[in-house]
Amino acid sequence: MTQTIINTAVTFIISSILGYCVSVIKNYKKKLKDKTSNELIQNKALLTLLQSQLTNTYFVYQNFQEIPDYVYRGWLNSLKIYEQLGGNDYCHTLEKKMGNWKIIKTDIIEK
């Protein structure tokens, strides 16, 4: 009789510990999934903002066919980040179109 009570108690304790471990792992996986999901959303949001900024800069200077050097340098830096985040070739098309533009030298970069 005592042996049965001890076996039942040990089984209950082990089952409780295993159940707790499973719930902890399940919650950890959910938090990890949510974190990954949030990072993907943030990357997509940043990509969208960068693409919008690159496009807007392109269209501001398109009619003039010239761009100040500090704006062009910032545009290229933004394009580099856009590429690193996995941006598509859309902005590369804009870059090719900007290849014939005159780059206006300013003293802003030299100082």
pTM above 0.75, yes or no: no
d(CA 55, CA 49): 10
Contact 91, 79 (CB under 8 A): yes
- The range of the structural domain enclosing residue 18 comes to 2-104
Residue 18 falls within a domain, yes or no? yes
Residue 110 falls within a domain, yes or no? no
Q: Strand, helix or coil at 103?
A: strand
What is the model's pLDDT at position 102? 92
Residue 111 falls within a domain, yes or no? no
Domains: count for the chain: 1
Q: Which residues pair with residue 66 across a beta bridge?
A: 102
pLDDT level of residue 17 (50, 70, 90 thresholds): confident
d(CA 74, CA 54): 10
What is the model's pLDDT at position 111? 52
| pLDDT tens figures, 78-111 | 999 999 888 888 888 999 999 899 998 887 666 5
